[in-house]
Amino acid sequence: MVAAAFIGPGTVTTASVTGARFGYALIWTIAFSMVATIVLQEMSARLGLVSREGLGEALRGQFDNPVASALSVALVVSAIGIGTAAYETGNIFGGAAGLEGLTGISANLWGPAMGLIAGALLWTGKYDLIEKALVALVSLMALSFLVDATIIGPDLGALAMGFVPSVPEGSTFLITGLIGTTVVGYNLFLHAGSVQERWAGPDELGESRVDTVLSILVGGFITIAILVTAAAAFPVGTSIENVSTMAEQIEPLVGTHAKVLFGIGLFAAGFTSATTAPLAGAYATAGALGWDTDLRSTKFRAVWGTILAVGIVFSALGYSPVQAILFAQVANGILLPILAVFLIYVMNDRDILGSYANSTLQNVVGGAVTLVVIWLGLRTLYTVAGDLGVF
């Protein structure tokens, strides 16, 4: 579920642009992001598994002051609820672009169809069915991008050197982007809620941890494969204007098979994110507002249905809600560091977690990750402020 959520069209875009422009030099960023994501997602999963509460419920319950509680709820609902709705258009349109490249049928037609299928899957309210569908699509995505990277023939020496940290001139923005597409705030809500559907309690914490690590490793290797494909296909310094055309761009270099595989991978990335983003928004919003987070509850369905409907309508119109995405960037830039700090705080609450609270080592590692997340949030705000002409 988590791997499906963070490998979306945004990840495909960022990794492709990074590989084409800087070659293999920033692979280390993905490796770091995988470690950071494992640390935070393990805490989120442990919270949900032990306390049987989602992150939204825990956030709302930690504040005695009604003003602070109301502000925290408003921030979660705006950043996660509205944010996932804004990004949903990109998820649907990205997956539809992959299908357009494969079939020649307009993405404006594929988008609504894909959104309706995602809605039908979520409407079943059957966690096992949703998870199996996502596992199949993530497997398809992994196969497509990994085979593509193999076909295109990467420079193994340069690939190995990419794990050595370096910051080429002009790469800071893309480093931020690679981390930001992996360490995702709404995934913390999604994970804390979804583990309660899959596992019965803390006795199964070991299995949950293995699942978390393996899932994030799979997602990370998919991202690396996308970056490697672009790095091997283009001279360093190449600018990719539109990732949906990358399949056409690599076809003359490595043949039709690579084009088809890239299109399939882009579709799978879009569909999985188009399914998980509304689900994450529903877990966050319902939990923060104190609503039932059962997959079949009316209010829960209303939240994910609204998020999905926004994506379907805008994708059908071919419209990108720039201002909504800009707002989501600002809100998430503020929220992600707050969530990381709060997560570590609540993971030390022995009244909730007892012996499953954080150890000293977990706090130290989590603190280091949080400092990077704070930098990421500040960088996002700086970037958005620049786009708005503030400075």
- 49 within 8 A of 204, measured Cβ to Cβ: yes
Q: Would you say residue 360 has pLDDT above 60?
A: yes
Q: Is the pLDDT of residue 389 over 80?
A: no
Chain-centroid distance of CA 128 in Å reads: 21
Closest among 128, 86, 71, 28 to 277, alpha carbons compared: 86
CA–CA separation, 312 vs 237, rounded Å? 35
Q: Give the Cα separation of 54 and 289 in Å (integer).
A: 12
Domain count within the chain: 1
Mean pLDDT of 156-176: 88
Residue with tokens 């700090």: 341
- Containing structural domain, residue 107: 2-388
What residue type is assigned to position 197 of the chain? E
Instruction: Give the CATH number of the domain where residue 73 resides.
Output: 1.20.1740.10
Q: Residue type at 278? A: P
Question: Residue 279, class by beta-carbon neighbours within 10 Å (0-12 exposed, 13-18 middle, 19+ buried)?
Answer: buried
Hey, what amino acid is at 256?
T
Q: Annotate 112-133 with b (16+ C-beta within 10 A) or e (fewer).
A: bbbbeebbebbeeeeeeebeeb
Give the tens place of pLDDT for each residue, 276-291: 999 989 998 888 888 8
How many residues would you count in the chain? 391
Q: What is the mean pLDDT of residues 348-364?
A: 92
* CA pair distance 207, 154, nearest whole angstrom: 35
State yes or no: pLDDT of 94 exceeds 80: yes
Q: What is the dihedral of CA 149, 155, 158, 159, to 10 degrees?
A: 30
> Are the CB atoms for 39 and 365 separated by under 8 Å?
yes
* pLDDT at position 46 over 70: yes
Q: What does R_g of the chain's alpha carbons equal in angstroms?
A: 20
For the chain, strand residue ranges (E) read none
Write the Ramachandran bin of 187: left for phi over 0, alpha for psi from -120 to 50, otherwise beta: alpha
Contacting residues for 217 by C-beta, under 8 A, at least 6 apart: 34
**Residue 391: pLDDT over 60:** no
- Rounded CA-CA distance 299/282 in Å is 9
- Percent pLDDT > 90 in the chain is 35
Which residues, including other chains, have CB under 8 Å from residue 118's CB and lie 6 or more apart?
Answer: 92, 271, 274, 275, 278, 308
Q: Secondary structure of 246-273 in the HEC alphabet?
A: HHHHHHHHHCHHHHHHHHHHHHHHHHHH
pLDDT digits (tens, 9 = 90+) for 189-232: 889 988 998 898 889 999 999 999 999 999 999 999 999 988 98
HEC letters along 35-50:
HHHHHHHHHHHHHHHH
What would the mean pLDDT of 109-126 be, rounded to a whole number? 93
